[in-house]
Amino acid sequence: MEKSKVYYTDFRTKLGEGLPTKLKRLIKKAGIEELDTDQKFVAIKMHFGELGNLSFLRPNYAKAVADVVKELGGMPFLTDCNTLYPGSRKNALEHLQCAWENGFTPLTVGCPVIIGDGLKGTDDIEVPVNGGEYIQNARIGRAIMDADVFISLTHFKGHEMTGFGGTIKNIGMGCGSRAGKKDQHSNGKPNINPDICRGCRRCQKECANNGLEFHEDTKKMTVNADNCVGCGRCLGACTFDAIEFVNDAATKELNCRMAEYTKAVIDGRPNFHISLVVDVSPNCDCHAENDAPILPNIGMFASFDPLALDQACVDACLKCDPLPNSQLSDRMRSEDFCDHHDHFENTTPDSEYKTCLDHAAKIGLGNRDYELIFVK
């Protein structure tokens, strides 16, 4: 198979030219003009950030992409689907309010902002997964599937379950309706170590499904397996490492399901993908906070191949030295540190991402072999 082309530029700028202009040049060099966008609805899938989190991509980047789409005659809109967990994005009203507060308005980004799965996260459509092993029909937000052209704009960062949050996660998990997200998370259940649990109940506040129970007699949390959907929010909420996913296959299956959901979204229609490796926080932008970056700002990447794009971003990250005063550097200094020779697994040892890339290649989502082309 011929190598996929991934285009890359760094964050260095010259006098009088800002990063949005550089991003426009990158995506044009990468071939976005080859898309037939004239008088077409163009979904730009991104994450608007949870309230309190400041590591999400700035609206300026979204505007740059929307401006290029409009130059090509397209009708762009920014979109994301509602979340499974409690927070500021679990229904369309709160989600839009969150997006606006974080700077994503029609005035700032130059196009509408639409929540892909509707008011309550129930406006979805079943999309067949060609060659799916875990998912036969994916539940995707209807507005996303109604679009003629699909573009992903991803903040590449760490993730407490999947190792990193890249293009495949942005598309697969992000485009799933609330039912679709539950579908992807359904196999894994966490375990709480009572010897480490402090009984602070922070994890319980993050659970939308009554999957955690606090016992007054022991002052400890336990998992209600009947209610738990395996979304992993509790894992990120616990700062004492009391929670872990004991079934390694659960995270691996989640990775495979995400890849299959991604295939459902992009199969059979024009698509293009952009990923920015910047403010590489250890956890997802779904958190209401963002810890210090674990790696330096690396650059902006673009490709027609979502798998090659994720692979290129991972490779670029693994070549960098960790930043001091970060979750990664703290773990590397801990007495019980076990070196996985991987920045993402060293940051969150219970995470795993390689099965996602492997399965994506297996189902024909893209190519892990790529040619990296630098754009000045």
Higher model confidence: residue 208 or residue 79? Answer: 79
pLDDT at residue number 249: 56
**Statement: 189-246 belongs to CATH 3.40.50.720:** no
With 80 as the cut, is the pLDDT of residue 245 above it?
no
pLDDT at residue number 183: 86
Query: How many residues belong to the chain?
Result: 376
Q: Kindly state the average pLDDT of the residues 217-224.
A: 95
Q: Which residues contact 207 (CB under 8 A, 6 or more apart)?
A: 85, 86, 228, 233, 234
With 80 as the cut, is the pLDDT of residue 210 above it?
yes
Give how far the C-alpha of residue 327 lies from the chain's centroid of Cα atoms, to the nearest Å.
19
pLDDT at residue number 215: 95
With 80 as the cut, is the pLDDT of residue 248 above it?
no
* Residue 188: pLDDT band with limits 50, 70, 90: low
Domain residue extents for the chain: 4-186+248-369, 189-246
- What are the angstrom distances between the C-alpha of 299 and each of 8, 61, 139, 152, 155? 7, 13, 33, 16, 11
User: Between the ranges 141-150, 186-195, 250-259, where is the mean pLDDT highest?
Assistant: 141-150
- Taking residue 107's Cβ as centre, other Cβ atoms within 10 Å add up to 7
Burial of 366 (0-12, 13-18, 19+ CB in 10 A): buried
* Residue 190: pLDDT band with limits 50, 70, 90: confident
With 80 as the cut, is the pLDDT of residue 269 above it?
yes
pLDDT at residue number 208: 82
At 30, list the tokens: 């990468």
* Residue 223: pLDDT band with limits 50, 70, 90: very high
Q: Kindly state the average pLDDT of the residues 321-340.
A: 95
pLDDT at residue number 9: 98
> How many percent of the chain have pLDDT more than 90?
85
pLDDT at residue number 85: 76
pLDDT at residue number 246: 56
- As a whole number, the mean pLDDT across the chain is 94
> How many percent of the chain have pLDDT more than 70?
97
User: Between the ranges 25-29, 228-232, 332-336, where is the mean pLDDT highest?
Assistant: 25-29
pLDDT at residue number 241: 76
**Statement: 4-186+248-369 belongs to CATH 3.30.70:** no
pLDDT at residue number 1: 78
Q: Which pLDDT tens digit goes with each residue over 62-112?
A: 999 999 999 999 999 999 999 987 789 989 999 999 999 999 999 999 999
Burial of 135 (0-12, 13-18, 19+ CB in 10 A): buried
Distance in angstroms (rounded) separating the CA atoms of residues 325 and 293: 9
**Can you spell out the DSSP letters for 41-62?**
EEEEE-----TT---SPPHHHH
pLDDT at residue number 151: 99
Q: Kindly state the average pLDDT of the residues 19-42.
A: 98
At 49, list the tokens: 């950030």
With 60 as the cut, is the pLDDT of residue 298 above it?
yes
| 131 contacts 262 by C-beta, under 8 angstroms | no
At 76, list the tokens: 């762009």
